[in-house]
Amino acid sequence: MKIALVCSAGMSTSMLVKNMRQAAEQKGIEAEIDAYAEGELHQHMEDIQVILIGPQVRYLKQNIMEKAEPYGTAVDVIDTMAYGTMNGDKVLEQALQLA
């Protein structure tokens, strides 16, 4: 499974990506998790199953959903509390439920 986290520059989600990767490894889940700036997301759309958007850029959701629809990619905003605490386990669960 390939999961993409999106924020305006791809930087604020990098720590969360690390935590999600650790959670996936601990659970034995094979997942490729990467962070992208919204502007570069289109370059990776073909491979992604789930896109999670940083809460600070939730206004991008509709635009990203329109781009993701032809690929059948699930899109949602990351749970604000999980994002704020960088809870990789909880955000991974959110992605798995969307997939």
**Where do the domains of the chain lie?**
2-98
pLDDT 10s digits, 36-49: 988 899 999 999 99
Using pLDDT thresholds of 50, 70 and 90, give the confidence band for residue 12. Answer: confident
pTM: 0.94
Report yes or no: 20 and 51 within 8 Å, Cβ to Cβ. Answer: no
How many C-beta atoms lie closer than 10 Å to residue 1's C-beta? Answer: 14
Provide CATH code, domain 2-98.
3.40.50.2300
Query: Encoding tokens for residue 17?
Result: 């990506």
94 is catalytic: no
Is the pLDDT reported for residue 27 higher than 90? yes
pLDDT per residue as tens digits for the range 66-95: 999 999 999 999 999 999 999 999 999 999
User: Exactly one of 3, 6, 7, 50 is catalytic; which is it?
Assistant: 7
**Burial grade of 81 (CB within 10 A; 0-12, 13-18, 19 or more):** exposed
